[in-house]
Structure 1
Amino acid sequence: MARNHKPADPRGGHVRIYWEIIDSMAWRAVMPRTQSLYVLMRRRLTSNSNGNISATLGEMKAHGWNASATLSKALRELQAVGRAASPSADRFAPFTASLTSRCTNGQSWGSPP
């Protein structure tokens, strides 16, 4: 029988971003829209998602992303600094980002992998 556990915090979960990430040169180099996308992608990272997070325009519209070009640029910036990887080589497929292990374990943003 499953037990219903109340979350430790009544407001629900949270997204942890280490100071090392925020203080890094790579974080400062990316645009604020890319920083926002990183936080949204971290929010969607759960124990059930296994690191695979789709960041399609349809899903991101609820969070204020209205232009596919802006979303694409932000995703490419995350790839450039080594924070996201696209498993699909098909440029017409919906973008499914895999947050890299560097994204989830707090390793330095100082240099790409």
Structure 2
Amino acid sequence: MPIRTVWQLQMRQTERLAVIACFAIGLTCCVIGIFRFWQLLVVNIGGNLTGTSLTTFMFCTVELMLGGLCTNVPTLQSFYVQWRAKRRASELEDANSQSEFKRLQIVQSQGQPKSGQPD
């Protein structure tokens, strides 16, 4: 894996970590492909095909899922940026509403002067 090369790129650290994670997923996919190929030699085609091929089918499924994930990770950045912006906006709204609520509580706890009494 080109970790040293990726780490020297002029990107934010989170982006570099995302690129390294994508390479790690790809490497994992390759390793699973090797295990799947090795499992094909163990499958008993003439006898109990269903019983001996479960592991091979699982490796095949995981390999395909990781390959699809690795392929689509770069396109997910725009969705993540939009999600993060919405989340921060809602957190800011919550913080503003909580501070407004606290301000109202303080005003109410101090009490208001009764009518007919001087301030």
Q: Note whether the superposition's TM-score is higher than 0.5.
A: no
TM-score normalised by the shorter chain: which range applies?
under 0.3
Bigger proportion of residues as strand: 1
Bigger proportion of residues as helix: 2
Rg larger in 1 or in 2? 2
